[in-house]
């Protein structure tokens, strides 16, 4: 009988060879047992494992390939990995499912390098447009455009031929709209309207909500599109951050039902609803309307975003007037935490700016004073983004037991001396943003997410961004970054026993074709692996600017195949 403790090292694993993958196929029905063999299994329980057996949705065995023969005859499916690597499935801890679905089928402006390119993309989409739906676009960022500004409604009117247009800025905290959309909604009389067609605040909420008006069938298609896309990226669980003006309560109920069981062929879903509660009765009303919520929070905004100059700052923006917008006072924050705690669920908030974080901590301390530390700790408090954390703030977060959901891809996209953060805040303040190593070193529980569609669902890119942070002192080790992108999401949702491949664990996994595998070097980075340098450390794909990113071959939730491109 094979021994799951067999740690014998096997030389010559085929980590560089590969075969062309077949086209992805839709979800296939569960088989009772699957043996994966002939590859590399990323497992701290057995760093030399080359094979893994899944039975009835659970990891039943892992070990060396030459001890797997005894399982091959009894398995319903035997998968020849051909040197591929099996890892725990990723968790994207911050997703907006409906908006991700919309963005996947809308005008992608993230690659536009000028206002003229963005308007050209709108023009082409308008020419191909059928029907009367609002023309949607996502991802524009004017900070490095030669024009230094976003599109005006006059320019959108000309480009779209008078059609209603909603173009979300990259952070989705502001947008540019056409005259047809603005006039139809009466946005000129709503706070947050700019005559040039830029909207934020209440005007943006109104435009955003109108852009999401659709029938039930289309909404369901968009949910599935987004979740299937996540599965194709090796993601087995997403944390949905629903809130008014993003999606409806009814939509969140549908998402929970669609993802309730792995047999439905979609990733697991952790649900948050961002509605501020004054009393425990308010909290219970939301929980009754959306059964299965993990928390009351997520995109419950204390402030806005740095890109739209709405994150609440202690000092003004250097490239524009003002110091941002504070949406919630400490009193409302304290009431919400107390209400969630009394209702028995996690409280959470979106917080980015340092002034917003100050307000959050005042409110959290007040809630702890009233409810008691044990009561608040029992349900927990979770923050999204938390980009501006100085030493006193870090100490408070540790003492108060706060959990953080962070987005390393934000630093990759907007960090550095020439990035958007430096443009908005100045180089000195920008250099201190997203202090991942400080947070991890202090023991703050971390999970990684994309905030999709703000940045793409691409978990390996998030891991790489954390390892290659613009500020070298804030770089995480590859192991720490990978765990934050896998096990970290389960932990933040209160599921501490999930997220590793070990006997008895749920079979949440992904299979990857990687050009090279790597070990973690003493400085925390990944270095190329050779059979003589493995040293008992679980392998990971080699990540680097000159490397082909890992390609997902299969994603499995509870033993059910969600995505399959195995040859």
**In this predicted model, what pLDDT tens digit does every residue of 350-370 receive, in sequence order?**
999 999 999 999 999 999 999
Q: Is the pLDDT of residue 28 over 60?
A: no
Q: For residues 256 and 263, give the distance between their C-alpha atoms in angstroms, rounded to a whole number.
A: 14
CA 147 → CA 113, 119, 152, distances in Å? 10, 12, 12
Calculate mean pLDDT across residues 507-521: 88
Nearest to 356 by CA among 323, 380, 379: 323
CA 415 → CA 218, 239, 446, 452, 469, distances in Å? 37, 25, 20, 18, 8
Q: Write down the residue that tokens 């008006």 correspond to.
A: 213
73-85 per-position pLDDT tens digit: 889 999 999 999 9
Report the pLDDT value the prediction gives residue 529, as an integer from 0 to 100: 52
Tokens of 13: 């694993």
Report the pLDDT value the prediction gives residue 122, as an integer from 0 to 100: 95
Q: For residues 64 and 44, give the distance between their C-alpha atoms in angstroms, rounded to a whole number.
A: 14
Peptide bond into 453 cis (omega under 30): yes
Label the pairing between strands 33-37 and 40-41.
unpaired
Higher-pLDDT residue of 341, 320: 341
Q: Is the pLDDT of residue 530 over 80?
A: no
Residues with Cβ within 8 Å of 481's Cβ and at least 6 positions away in sequence, in order, are 408, 448, 462, 463, 466, 467
pLDDT-derived band of residue 130, with 50, 70 and 90 as boundaries?
confident
Percent of the chain with pLDDT over 90: 84
Report the pLDDT value the prediction gives residue 129, as an integer from 0 to 100: 86
pLDDT-derived band of residue 152, with 50, 70 and 90 as boundaries?
very high
Q: Is the pLDDT of residue 524 over 80?
A: no
Q: For residues 407 and 92, give the distance between their C-alpha atoms in angstroms, rounded to a whole number.
A: 10
Q: For residues 505 and 520, give the distance between their C-alpha atoms in angstroms, rounded to a whole number.
A: 24
Cβ–Cβ < 8 Å for 193, 205:
no
Q: Is the pLDDT of residue 5 over 50?
A: no
163-195 per-position pLDDT tens digit: 999 999 999 999 999 999 999 999 999 999 999
Q: For residues 341 and 54, give the distance between their C-alpha atoms in angstroms, rounded to a whole number.
A: 38
Q: For residues 404 and 383, give the distance between their C-alpha atoms in angstroms, rounded to a whole number.
A: 5
Tokens of 435: 């202090």
- Count CA atoms within 13 Å of residue 138 on its CB side: 18
Cβ–Cβ < 8 Å for 501, 487:
no
Q: For residues 332 and 143, give the distance between their C-alpha atoms in angstroms, rounded to a whole number.
A: 34
Cβ–Cβ < 8 Å for 307, 415:
no
| Cross-strand bridge partners of residue 190 | none
**CA-based Rg of the chain, rounded to a whole angstrom?**
24
Q: For residues 104 and 88, give the distance between their C-alpha atoms in angstroms, rounded to a whole number.
A: 26
Percent of the chain with pLDDT over 70: 91
Q: For residues 566 and 30, give the distance between their C-alpha atoms in angstroms, rounded to a whole number.
A: 16
Q: Write down the residue that tokens 């003002």 correspond to.
A: 322
Cβ–Cβ < 8 Å for 141, 170:
yes
- Count CA atoms within 13 Å of residue 511 on its CB side: 29
Q: For residues 36 and 83, give the distance between their C-alpha atoms in angstroms, rounded to a whole number.
A: 11
pLDDT-derived band of residue 31, with 50, 70 and 90 as boundaries?
low
Nearest to 426 by CA among 319, 314, 554: 319
- Yes or no: domain 100-211 corresponds to CATH 3.10.310.70: yes
DSSP, res 28 = -
Calculate mean pLDDT across residues 194-221: 93
Q: For residues 138 and 109, give the distance between their C-alpha atoms in angstroms, rounded to a whole number.
A: 6
327-339 per-position pLDDT tens digit: 999 999 999 999 9
Tokens of 195: 């005559």
> What SS3 string covers 394-413?
HHHHHHCCCEEEECHHHHHH
382-394 per-position pLDDT tens digit: 999 999 999 999 9
Higher-pLDDT residue of 10, 444: 444
Q: For residues 40 and 235, give the distance between their C-alpha atoms in angstroms, rounded to a whole number.
A: 19
Burial 468-481 (b: 16+ CB within 10 A, else e): bbbbeebbbbbbbb
Cβ–Cβ < 8 Å for 302, 347:
no
Report the pLDDT value the prediction gives residue 32, as an integer from 0 to 100: 85
Nearest to 54 by CA among 231, 262, 245: 262
Report the pLDDT value the prediction gives residue 525, as an integer from 0 to 100: 58
Calculate mean pLDDT across residues 467-472: 96
Show the CA angle centred on residue 52, arms to residues 48 and 57, nearest 5°.
140
Report the pLDDT value the prediction gives residue 246, as an integer from 0 to 100: 92
Report the pLDDT value the prediction gives residue 22, as an integer from 0 to 100: 38
474-499 per-position pLDDT tens digit: 999 999 999 999 999 999 999 988 99
The SS3 call for residue 440 is helix
Q: For residues 276 and 348, give the distance between their C-alpha atoms in angstroms, rounded to a whole number.
A: 10
Q: Where are the chain's structural domains?
A: 33-89+508-564, 100-211
CA 243 → CA 75, 299, 346, distances in Å? 44, 6, 15
Burial 528-546 (b: 16+ CB within 10 A, else e): ebeeeebeeebbbbbbbee
Nearest to 351 by CA among 380, 325, 317, 377: 325
From the candidate CATH numbers 3.30.70.100, 3.30.70.1450, 2.30.40.10, 3.30.1490.100, the one assigned to the domain spanning 33-89+508-564: 2.30.40.10
Calculate mean pLDDT across residues 39-62: 95
């Amino acid at each position: 009988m094979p021994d799951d403790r067999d740690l014998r090292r096997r030389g010559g694993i085929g980590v560089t060879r590969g075969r062309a993958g077949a086209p992805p196929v839709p979800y296939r029905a569960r088989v009772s047992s699957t043996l994966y063999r002939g590859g590399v299994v990323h497992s701290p329980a057995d760093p030399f494992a080359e094979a893994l057996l899944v039975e009835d949705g659970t990891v039943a065995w892992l070990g060396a390939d030459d001890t797997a023969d005894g399982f091959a005859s009894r398995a319903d499916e035997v998968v020849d990995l051909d040197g591929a690597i099996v890892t725990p499935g990723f968790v994207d801890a911050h997703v907006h499912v409906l908006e991700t679905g919309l963005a996947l089928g809308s005008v992608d402006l993230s690659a536009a390098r000028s206002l003229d390119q963005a308007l050209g993309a709108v023009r082409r989409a308008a020419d191909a447009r059928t029907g009367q739906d609002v023309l949607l676009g996502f991802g524009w960022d004017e900070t490095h455009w030669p024009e230094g500004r976003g599109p005006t409604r006059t320019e959108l009117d000309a480009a779209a031929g008078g059609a209603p247009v909603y173009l979300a800025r990259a952070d989705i905290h502001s947008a540019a709209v056409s005259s047809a959309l603005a006039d139809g909604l009466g946005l000129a009389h709503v706070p947050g309207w700019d005559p040039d067609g830029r909207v934020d605040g209440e005007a943006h909420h109104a435009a955003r909500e109108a852009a999401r008006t659709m029938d039930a069938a289309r909404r369901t298609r968009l949910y599935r599109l987004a979740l299937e896309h996540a599965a194709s990226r090796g993601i087995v669980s997403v944390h949905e951050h629903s809130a008014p003006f993003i999606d409806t309560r009814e939509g969140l109920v549908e998402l929970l039902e669609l993802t309730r069981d792995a047999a439905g062929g979609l990733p697991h879903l952790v649900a948050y609803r961002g509605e501020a509660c004054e009393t425990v009765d308010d909290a219970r009303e939301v929980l009754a309307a959306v059964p299965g919520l993990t928390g009351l929070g997520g995109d419950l905004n204390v402030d806005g975003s740095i890109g739209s100059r709405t994150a609440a700052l202690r000092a003004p923006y250097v490239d524009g007037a003002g110091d941002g917008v504070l949406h919630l006072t400490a009193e409302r924050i304290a009431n919400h935490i107390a209400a969630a705690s009394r209702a028995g669920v996690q409280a959470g908030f979106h917080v980015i700016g340092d002034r917003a974080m100050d307000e959050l901590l005042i409110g959290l301390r007040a809630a702890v004073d009233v409810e008691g530390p044990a009561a608040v700790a029992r349900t927990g408090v979770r923050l999204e983004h938390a980009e501006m954390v100085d030493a006193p703030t870090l100490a408070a977060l540790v003492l108060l037991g706060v959990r953080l959901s962070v987005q390393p891809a934000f630093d990759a996209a907007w960090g550095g001396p020439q990035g958007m953060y430096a443009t908005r805040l100045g180089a000195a303040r920008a250099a201190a943003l997203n202090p991942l190593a400080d947070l991890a070193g202090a023991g703050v529980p971390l999970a990684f997410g994309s905030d999709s569609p703000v940045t793409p669902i691409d978990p390996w890119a998030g891991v790489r961004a954390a390892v290659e942070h613009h500020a070298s002192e804030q770089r995480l080790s590859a192991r720490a970054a990978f765990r934050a992108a896998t096990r970290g999401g389960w932990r933040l949702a209160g599921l501490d026993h999930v997220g590793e491949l070990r006997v008895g664990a749920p079979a949440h996994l992904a299979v990857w074709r990687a050009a090279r595998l790597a070990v973690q070097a003493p400085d925390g980075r990944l270095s190329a692996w050779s059979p003589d340098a493995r040293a008992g450390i679980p392998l990971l794909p080699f990540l680097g600017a000159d490397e082909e990113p890992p390609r997902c071959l299969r994603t499995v939730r509870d033993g059910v195949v969600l995505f399959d491109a195995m040859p």
